[in-house]
Amino acid sequence: MRKKTRRLIWSGAVVLGALLALWMVLTLLAGLAQNLQTLAGGWGMVLFLIIMGALGWLGWSTWQGQSSPQWVKRSGDPALPMTFDSKREAAGEHLGSIEQQLKLVQDQVMRQALERERRQVAAELERGDLVVVVFGTGSSGKTSLIRALLGNMVGAVEPAMGSTQASHTYRLPMVGLSRGVRLVDTPGILESGAQGQRREDMARRQAVQADLLLFVVDGDLRDSELRMVELLLSLGKRLFLVLNKCDLLGQQQERRLLQVLRQRCAPQLPPQDVVPVSSGPPRITTVPGAPPSAPEVEALLRRLVQVLRLEGDELMADNILLQSRRLSVDTEAVLTSQRERAGRTIVERYAWIGGGIIALTPLPGLDLLGAAAVNAQMVLELGRIYGVKLGQDQGRELALAVGRTMTGMGLVKGGAMLLTTALSTAWPALVVGKAVQGVSAAWLTRIAGASLMEYFSRKQDWGDGGMAAAIRKHYDLNRRQTQLNDFLTMAVARIVEPLQRRLKSLPPGQPPTPAPGSVRKQ
């Protein structure tokens, strides 16, 4: 009864408080309307309604933002993590696009190598086993660890480094897993000599293809081992750091080493993923009547089962997606290199053809030189190299835009003065005067071509600074002394000397010796 009475009192107080607040709001609004009427006359009520409408809209928007259902994805919200199936689908899409990209690769050897990798990743999509790769130096006891995990003798276990010459795969039966587990023994890393380097390369390839890595050490991490661990973790690999040969350590030394290893690998590696084991063969104890010491790998097996049971499917999907993305990046890098070579060939061809023609038939003004240096046909051919289809009108407009930009930035006049100065130290004024437009046109074509190649490689995007910034960057690169001298050496052979041979009025004799730092006539 008391509780009911108390609830009635509280309810009455709330109602009275709400009525009092409503009365105060209405009083304030009435006063506001009266003041606006006094100040603005006939417009007072209009202003009052506008203010009320704005306040109402603001309140409604705020309420909508706070009461939106949680399942509605708002703009700016972080994307949900990819699931097992979506990762496999993404990997399949990557492989499909890679198959199309490989048709564009002209190098037959490279295309066959990439195709083999694509088929291998495609096969990974269909496999059912989880792959656990054992990785580490040759002396860390990798093969002994695998033998202990399997419970029987596998491979040759020798004290010398490099005893594992190639990768070996074993099936590891694990209770409670829906998938099988393949255990891969790899050659040791960080060995000297050419054969050691080849074995390490093989081990690295196996490590990249692993769903889960066991990085085996027998002491504190060396700098080279720590860099390797950091590299593998940066690739997104799930990794256990296994401290082996703990039977040779005292308990205090083992605890200290584990603490050091966990600190060195934090925070990328959780402390529970640094696991101590003793995988060596049974040893006779010094205590009379005591049984020989046996390998101790139970902690590692428990952690393996726990992680593979909870994360196995996701680890496999992550690995397959990582491999498909890596292959996509490798394929794109091959195509990029191929496009750059083809693009440079096209630009060089139009540079020297155009430069030679303009040298023989000079243009009436430097402004026209900038437009003429950017040939519309060159733009179309570069577009085709990068898979961009342009019409004749589009190619002409882009060429004119680049030419006008170069002229407007003063690069045409600046380039002509730069090249005139460089040539005048080695050639008579008559030759320089007639050759400078042709040499300038060839140089500007190079700059324009490099800028257009960057534009097409960026998916028809000039970048943050726009067309002018891209052109300026390549202008500055081409005016560097080394590149400028290389260009002038070719310009002398392709434009200046042929022009001199056509000028019959020149007196015979060799040109003067060029000044130090300039291009010498070949």
Instruction: Give 288-308 pLDDT, tens digit per residue.
Output: 444 445 678 889 988 988 888
Percent of the chain with pLDDT over 90: 16
| Residue 478 confidence (pLDDT) | 92
| Residue 382 confidence (pLDDT) | 94
Looking at residues 145-153, what average pLDDT do you find? 76
Domains identified in the chain and CATH numbers: 88-282+292-327 (3.40.50.300), 336-502 (no CATH)
Q: Which of 53-57, 67-71, 119-123, 225-229 has the lowest mean pLDDT?
A: 67-71
Q: Which of 77-81, 324-328, 332-336, 370-374 has the lowest mean pLDDT?
A: 77-81
| Residue 99 confidence (pLDDT) | 81
Q: Which of 62-71, 177-186, 190-199, 389-398 has the lowest mean pLDDT?
A: 62-71
Q: Which amino acid is at 470?
A: A
Across the chain, how many H-helices and E-strands are there?
Answer: 17, 6
115-to-110, 176, 330, 411, 468 alpha-carbon distances in Å: 8, 37, 11, 46, 40
| Residue 59 confidence (pLDDT) | 57
| Residue 475 confidence (pLDDT) | 93
| Residue 73 confidence (pLDDT) | 34
Instruction: Give 465-511 pLDDT, tens digit per residue.
Output: 899 999 999 999 999 989 988 998 898 888 888 877 776 544 454 44
Residue 175 clears pLDDT 80, i.e. is over it: no
Question: Rounded distance, CA 359 to CA 320, Å?
Answer: 58
151-to-172, 248, 280, 309, 473 alpha-carbon distances in Å: 10, 20, 12, 21, 64
Residue 282 clears pLDDT 70, i.e. is over it: no
| Residue 60 confidence (pLDDT) | 52
Q: Which of 11-20, 239-248, 512-521 has the lowest mean pLDDT?
A: 512-521
Bridge partner list, 357: none
| Residue whose C-alpha is closest to residue 280's, from 200, 218, 222 | 218
| Residue 10 confidence (pLDDT) | 62
- Other CB atoms within a 10 A radius of the CB of residue 107 amount to 12
Q: Which residue has the higher pLDDT, 369 or 177?
A: 177
Angle between helix 466-478 and 481-491 (nearest 10): 80
Residue 198 clears pLDDT 60, i.e. is over it: yes
pLDDT category, 433, cuts 50, 70, 90? confident
Q: Which residue has the higher pLDDT, 97 or 368?
A: 97
Strand-by-strand arrangement of the 181-185 sheet: 168-171, 181-185, 130-136, 212-217, 238-243, 274-276
Tokens, residue 222: 């060396």
Which secondary structure element, helix H or strand E, spans residue 48, and what is its range?
A: helix 44-67
Q: Which residue has the higher pLDDT, 427 or 328?
A: 328
Residue 415 clears pLDDT 50, i.e. is over it: yes
Could you give the maximum distance between any two Cα atoms of the chain, in Å? 128
Looking at residues 29-38, what average pLDDT do you find? 62
| Residue 521 confidence (pLDDT) | 41
Instruction: Give 368-403 pLDDT, tens digit per residue.
Output: 666 667 788 899 999 999 989 899 889 889 988 998
Q: Which of 81-85, 115-119, 252-256 has the lowest mean pLDDT?
A: 81-85
| Residue 81 confidence (pLDDT) | 56
Query: What does the mean pLDDT of the chain come to?
Result: 76
Looking at residues 320-324, what average pLDDT do you find? 80
Q: Which residue has the higher pLDDT, 513 or 409?
A: 409
Q: Which residue has the higher pLDDT, 84 or 105?
A: 105
Question: Rounded distance, CA 102 to CA 100, Å?
Answer: 5
| Residue 503 confidence (pLDDT) | 67
Instruction: Give 266-279 pLDDT, tens digit per residue.
Output: 888 899 999 999 87
Burial of 282 (0-12, 13-18, 19+ CB in 10 A): exposed
Q: Which residue has the higher pLDDT, 22 or 64?
A: 22
| Residue 56 confidence (pLDDT) | 62
| Residue 45 confidence (pLDDT) | 60
| Residue 261 confidence (pLDDT) | 92
Question: Rounded distance, CA 311 to CA 315, Å?
Answer: 6
Q: Whats the size of the chain, residue-wise?
A: 522
Q: Which residue has the higher pLDDT, 30 or 257?
A: 257
Looking at residues 51-61, what average pLDDT do you find? 58
Q: Which residue has the higher pLDDT, 172 or 461?
A: 461
| Residue 340 confidence (pLDDT) | 93
pLDDT category, 455, cuts 50, 70, 90? very high
pLDDT category, 162, cuts 50, 70, 90? very low
Residue 432 clears pLDDT 80, i.e. is over it: no
- Other CB atoms within a 10 A radius of the CB of residue 244 amount to 27
